[in-house]
Amino acid sequence: MASLTGQTALVTGASSGIGKAIALAMAAAGANVGINYIAGDDVVEQMVHDIESSGGRAIPLKADVSREDEVLAMFRKLIGAFGTVDILASNAGIQKDSPFANMTLAQWNAVLNVNLTGAFLCAREAVKEFLRRGVVKERSLAAGKIIFTSSVHEVIPWAGHANYATSKGGLAMLMKTIAQELASEKIRINSIGPGAIKTPINRKAWETPEAADALRRLIPSGRIGEPKDIASAAVWLASDESDYINGTTIFVDGGMLLYPGFRTGG
């Protein structure tokens, strides 16, 4: 695996699912890790313990990424503990699904606030620190790296999930715009677009054999993804191995974007 030795990573939404796998993989690759979460103190305590017992360093950072004051305090704490931040894995995300006509403003706002405003707030604070510190060539060719967890739904429309799909479509443009703006400062910004990964967010889609079969029909590779499928891409995107990758989304989706309906239709 690519090395992140000596670098500090902040992973948001890291107490479960994809975020947890990214945090553990970055620690295994040698990074100090700030584990952001909102619920699951016991899980995060165990993660810190496991990382430290394998010789790594990690701190818990409880904060709601959609609240500016909490994000500012989180960055102060992270930078206080490790001196700086080199990598942001902006991963925190939620779903509040509803048929469009019944979608409440609260459901709309909750999803946009976490998935898009949260990404904005964390990215902005990370970029301030990247710009202040600049490149430290012993650690990385870049002054900083951001990896957003997006979704295949930054591209695929998704009935019953207008708030979620909109947040990911917006995230794609946030990612590309700030990548364009900050490339000359040696900051690299990319997204990962996961397909159906087995995590708590989509439990209903895989927990019964019937649901899992229906889901697999949308995946040409024929298997539901695992969090580690995303974590290895995140470590690579955070490392200098991907130094020439900037402003793009890497889809890790078993081919979900290949219009699987056309295997037999059309």
The residues binding ligand BGC (CB under 6 A) are 95, 151-153, 195-196, 201-202, 205
CB atoms within 10 A of CB 222: 9
Instruction: Round to whole Å and give the CA distance between 231 and 199.
Output: 13
Tokens describing residue 232: 């290895």
Q: Which of residues 201 and 212 has its CB atom nearest to ligand BGC in the complex?
A: 201
Cβ-based nearer residue to ligand BGC, 90 or 95: 95
259 a catalytic residue: no
Report, in Å, the least distance between residue 205 CB and ligand BGC: 5
Q: To 5 degrees, how large is the angle CA 125–CA 131–CA 133?
A: 105
Q: Which residue in the list 37, 164, 244, 259 is annotated as catalytic?
A: 164
Nearer to ligand BGC, 41 or 100 (CB): 100
Question: Closest CB to ligand BGC among 12 and 32?
Answer: 12
> CB of 147 within 8 A of CB of 192?
yes
Ranges of beta strands (E only) in the chain are: 8-11, 32-37, 58-62, 87-90, 144-149, 187-194, 249-252
Query: In whole angstroms, what is the distance from residue 35 CA to residue 22 CA?
Result: 10
10 Å CB burial of residue 111 (0-12, 13-18, 19+) is: buried
Tell me how far, at minimum, the Cβ of 2 lies from ligand BGC, in Å: 25
Minimum CB–partner distance for residue 59 and ligand BGC (Å): 27
Give the nearest distance from C-beta 128 to ligand BGC in angstroms: 29
Strands across the sheet containing 32-37: 58-62, 32-37, 8-11, 87-90, 144-149, 187-194, 249-252
To ligand BGC, the closest distance from the beta carbon of 217 in angstroms equals 12
Query: Which CB atom, from 38 or from 201, has the smaller least distance to ligand BGC?
Result: 201
Please give the Cα distance from 73 to 55 (Å, whole number).
27
Helix (H) or strand (E) holding 255: none
List the catalytic residues: 164
